[in-house]
Structure 1
């Protein structure tokens, strides 16, 4: 009986060892196949990258061969832009122009000269309203045009925050649109890293304020955190003073009598709208 048990244990150990060996071989084979797939994928990506580089080099070479000579690039006769129409989206039109300008390597100090002849409608009026100095600054001209179309930093910020993913667009298109909205909002080409941090911190600070304080601060459109803090503190101080005045009135028995006497002695005051008190008690108090 003992001998059979020993033989059974030995057989079980042999089978277990064989199973472990087979499992190790299976894992090694899977690892080998995985590494082979990774190598093949890398080789394919490298091949595609080399092909793209080759095609790009051919395109650039053909572009260089067809490009006009340097002395010809100063002429505006070769300009072939589309005139702005009432049906065009101004944001898309400006974006298209900037991409063309960068692709053609136009100096930025020439952008206004190249864009101005193609402006119409509100964009043309915005450009025409600028003085001679500001009309030469492309960024200033762009801001003036967007302002005429009621597009500003706050507009782009709201669009960025309100953007939602759509299955119709897909992940890649959704990210591209979100990234474009972010660039329009923070304008990294015109701001330092510190200014961008200030902008994001300011937005979040206003967002965490109590509703009525936030509304008050937003109406004044502060451009710095210092200004926003000052506005919030002023609002809270005004509300505190209003609460104190109400408390004093409630604790003074003769307050209503004195107010009635004052009103009867000066009847003309009763006809004037009490704008400040109405604003104080209706708007400031929670």
Structure 2
């Protein structure tokens, strides 16, 4: 039997912060004592419109990670939001610094992914690559340093085989 929420849940809107919404949902669910195996059903039925529910995988009960994936909240996306943050000299200082703190915490401690050091290493390495290499890695977001190394080695080999490596052509000729 599925529990009926006693707290009123508002729908997730297109301008809402998905991660903040899910944090509030989780606090509410724990406070209400809802069984975790029912969260996907409650969340899917209460907060997302039907097309978003289908796209997020709620028909299969995949839960919070599906919602985050659907809304583009990957490790790379969280890092990008942190790097895109800019201080507004006209805005309230305290709230801006708090917002930046939330962005960095979500990026560096947001899930069970790589260690903080590896997150920074992955992000900085990718930011230093050529646009072509960045596009290649964007297709298969590496979540570990080993994945990054393997993908970059494969990219280098592909560049060499296609003759796109200008230095190699110059050295051979």
Same fold, TM exceeding 0.5? yes
Q: Provide the TM-score with structure 2 as the length reference.
A: 0.70
| 1:71-110 alpha-carbon deviations (Å, 9 max, x no partner) | xxxx9456122341656626143233234345x2736726
SS in 2 for 1:129: helix
CA distance in 2, matches of 1:181, 1:211: 25
Tell me how far 1:144 sits from its aligned partner: 0.9
Partner of 2:47: 119
Instruction: Decide which of 2, 14, 26 is 1:98's aligned counterpart.
Output: 26
TM-score by length of 1: 0.46
Which residue is equivalent to 1:226? 146
Inter-partner Cα distance in structure 2 for 1:239 and 1:78:
55
Q: 1:197 offset after TM fit, Å?
A: 2.2
- Cα RMSD after superposing both structures: 3.4
The answer to whether the 8 Å contact 2:79/2:123 transfers is no
Label 1:196 to 1:177 Cα distance change in 2 as closer, same or farther (>3 A). Answer: same
Q: For residues 104-253 of structure 1, what are the structure 2 equivalents within 5 Å? A: 104=31, 106=33, 109=36, 112=39, 114-121=42-49, 122-125=51-54, 126-130=56-60, 135=61, 140-188=62-110, 190-191=111-112, 195-240=115-160, 242=163
Q: More helix per residue: 1 or 2?
A: 1
Q: Which structure ranks higher in relative contact order (CA pairs < 8 Å, sequence separation ≥ 6)?
A: 2
Gaps of 5+ in 1: 1-74, 251-286
Deviations 1:246-268 (A, max 9, x none): 887x7xxxxxxxxxxxxxxxxxx
Q: 1:205 Cα deviation (Å)? A: 1.9
Does the aligned pair in 2 maintain the 1:83–1:120 contact within 8 Å?
A: no
Q: Distance in 2 between matches of 1:86 and 1:78?
A: 20
- The residue number in structure 2 matching 1:265 is none
1:89 aligns with 2:9: no
Q: 1:117 and 1:231, CA in 2 relative to 1: closer, same or farther beyond 3 A?
A: closer
